[in-house]
């Protein structure tokens, strides 16, 4: 039996496996796909796996629902931040990713996490490529073919600093929300409009706030624990 926690942030949902407290099985692509499958498994957009870390409160791996590994996940970081804050009874925690370590803390709006630097890439009249630990293409107009191998964010409306966003995640498909996508959209808007005002990003699953600077974006919003349980691994081999 495999203990797990199911959490969500603006409808972007995650299954969290914690090797800090439990011994985990070999996480093959087949097992990851089975866990994340919504009809025969638990169901989620991404599987998050926590490991011991020598330089942070925990290290986090991110797996998409197709079994591929991702480098960054803002909403997942906020969910894991909330879990660690509760389990460790701390006001602020650190989480190690493959390329950096970030801080997460509680706020009056939920949980805030450092997302690091946004790097501007190719820009056309229709879109801007953004790197923020993972690759994004932010579209102001959906008039070009979507590139493969990138997370896609489509700005469907904007009223002052309130932005409406649709998301197609690499390896997961269309999702209700994406934290790194909200940050990428904010970085693209800052680049095009020439300012760094905080942005409210409204996605189908809910709202987040992105602030800070292009060198260190801060993602903030609510998270929830949906349920905890145990999964029978043997059921996948029967």
User: Residues with catalytic annotation?
Assistant: 73, 178
Taking Cα atoms as reference points, which of 48, 84, 78 lies closest to residue 217?
78
Cβ neighbors of 234 (< 8 A, separation 6 or more) are none
Q: How far apart are the first and last CA of the chain?
A: 15
Distance CA 231, CA 184 (A): 35
CA separation, residue 156 to residues 3, 190, 204 (Å): 39, 17, 11
Residue 162 half-sphere exposure toward CB, CA atoms < 13 A: 4
Helix, strand, or coil (residue 185): helix
Distance CA 20, CA 80 (A): 13
Cβ neighbors of 153 (< 8 A, separation 6 or more) are 136, 137, 138, 139, 165, 166, 167, 178, 181, 182, 184, 185, 188
Helix, strand, or coil (residue 115): strand
- The token pair at 216 is 């260190």
Please, are residues 74 and 187 in contact by the beta-carbon 8 Å criterion? Answer: no
């Amino acid at each position: 039996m495999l203990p797990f926690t199911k959490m969500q942030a603006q409808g972007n949902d995650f299954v969290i496996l914690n090797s800090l407290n439990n011994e985990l099985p070999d996480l093959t692509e087949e097992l990851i796909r089975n866990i994340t499958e919504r009809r025969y498994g638990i169901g989620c957009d991404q599987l998050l796996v926590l490991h011991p870390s020598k330089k942070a409160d925990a290290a986090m791996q991110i797996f998409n629902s197709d079994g591929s590994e991702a480098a960054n996940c803002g909403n997942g970081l906020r969910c894991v931040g909330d879990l660690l804050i509760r389990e460790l009874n701390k006001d602020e925690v650190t989480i190690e990713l493959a390329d950096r370590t970030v801080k997460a803390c509680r706020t009056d709006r939920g949980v805030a996490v450092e997302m690091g630097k946004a790097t501007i890439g190719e820009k056309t009249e229709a879109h801007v490529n953004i790197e923020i630990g993972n690759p994004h293409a932010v579209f102001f107009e959906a008039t070009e073919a979507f590139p493969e191998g990138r997370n896609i964010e489509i700005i469907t409306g904007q009223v002052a600093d309130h932005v409406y966003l649709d998301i197609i995640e690499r390896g997961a498909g269309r999702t209700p929300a994406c934290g790194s996508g909200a940050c990428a959209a904010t970085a693209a808007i800052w680049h095009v409009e020439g300012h760094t005002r905080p942005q409210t990003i409204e996605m189908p699953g809910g709202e987040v706030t992105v602030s800070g600077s292009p060198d260190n974006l801060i993602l903030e919003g609510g998270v929830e624990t949906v349920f905890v349980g145990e999964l029978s691994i043997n059921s996948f081999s029967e």
